[in-house]
Amino acid sequence: MGAAIEPSTEKIATRVAYGKSLVELAKSNQDIVVLDADLSSSTQTKFFAKEFPERFFNMGIAEANMVSTAAGLAKAGKIPFVSSFAMFATGRAWEQVRNSVAHNHANVKICATHAGLTVGEDGASHQIIEDIALMKSIPGMVVIVPADAKETEKVMQAVTAYNGPAYVRLGRSALPVLFDDKYNFQIGKANVINAGEDLTIMACGIMVSAAAEAAKILKEKHNKSIEVINIASIKPLDTETIVNSALKTRNIIVAEEHNIWGGLGDSVASALLENCSEKLSFKRLGVNDSFGQSGKAEDLLIHYGLTAENLVKLSLEMLH
């Protein structure tokens, strides 16, 4: 727990970091193979396809078949990385993810891009805001949502070393760079990136940089001390860090680019209900049980209230 982390002016999409990390990992690990559903330019697995064409499989627009094939490759000793848009990788292929991958504890990594509202103009049909709920409900499935490009690199290293199924949620839009090479990611661990006393903002994915920005505004303009926790590991969840922070500040906001039903907020609420007997104030900030719509990513985040400014507003309401 060091100095407060502030979003950088540099922006990189987590999908780009994913694609480039695959190449670096595959140079030293011959077991890594990649399967894509005819979207390699979008998912950024194109870098891997160019570097290792013999280990890249374009499965066409047949996501269920892609996932089942990956399960077979895993049972043959390979480490398959499966990529498509999150809507299709988790929605269309859910049965195969459950039965072929998770039920067999197959060592398959489902790294899905274009998750959440920030798919933008593609609209509600592609803006999956239910994928965390879908994937965390599957027994034995690890669920991770990195906050920036550097964390994505660390996540890639961790899931490659982990023996078992994992879902990594990646985005389309470029995000502020928060972390450097010293940043430490571990499956099952949350990271306190800004220590505080008055209120805790727990966030994942794109909302981590919004939380960091909100903490800065609340400190400078309102003299409020805000703790910010990056919960990239949704499942397994770091209950200890969550509970310790909640008991310290007694005020908690959970922010995510996902439906508030079934997402990170529900996981945190359950952890607090089961482990805290003290009175706490708790709010969830996410998409409130509605579908997305077509529009520019930044406009959609404003429309649905997923901004640093709205986090500031909610924090002040809770603290007054």
Indicate whether 53 and 164 sit together in one domain: yes
**pLDDT of the residue at 7:** 66
d(CA 208, CA 191): 11
Known catalytic residue at 257: no
Indicate whether 98 and 233 sit together in one domain: no
Q: Return the CATH number at 302.
A: 3.40.50.920
Indicate whether 147 and 217 sit together in one domain: no
Indicate whether 103 and 18 sit together in one domain: yes
- Write the pLDDT tens digit of every residue in 271-294: 999 999 999 999 999 999 999 999
End-of-domain residue from the set 141, 176, 211:
176
Name the catalytic one among 6, 24, 63, 227.
Answer: 63
Do 170 and 112 contact (CB within 8 A), yes or no? yes
Domain membership of residue 183 (yes or no) is no
Residue with tokens 């502020």: 176
Mean pLDDT split into 10-residue runs, the chain, 320 residues? 66 97 98 98 97 98 97 98 97 97 98 96 94 98 97 98 98 94 96 97 98 97 98 98 98 98 97 94 96 95 97 96
- Write the pLDDT tens digit of every residue in 175-224: 999 999 999 999 999 999 999 999 999 999 999 999 999 999 999 999 99
Domain hosting residue 280, numbered range: 191-319
Indicate whether 17 and 146 sit together in one domain: yes
Token pair of 184 as six digits: 């430490």
Domain membership of residue 267 (yes or no) is yes
Domain membership of residue 105 (yes or no) is yes
End-of-domain residue from the set 176, 204, 225:
176
**How many structural domains is the chain composed of?**
2
Q: 116-148 burial by CB neighbour count: b if 16+ within 10 A, else e?
A: bbbbbeeeeebbbbbbbbbbbebeebbbbbbbb
**pLDDT of the residue at 10:** 87
Indicate whether 24 and 91 sit together in one domain: yes
Indicate whether 203 and 291 sit together in one domain: yes
Helix and strand totals (H; E) in the chain: 13, 14
Do 163 and 140 contact (CB within 8 A), yes or no? no
d(CA 237, CA 250): 19
**pLDDT of the residue at 282:** 98
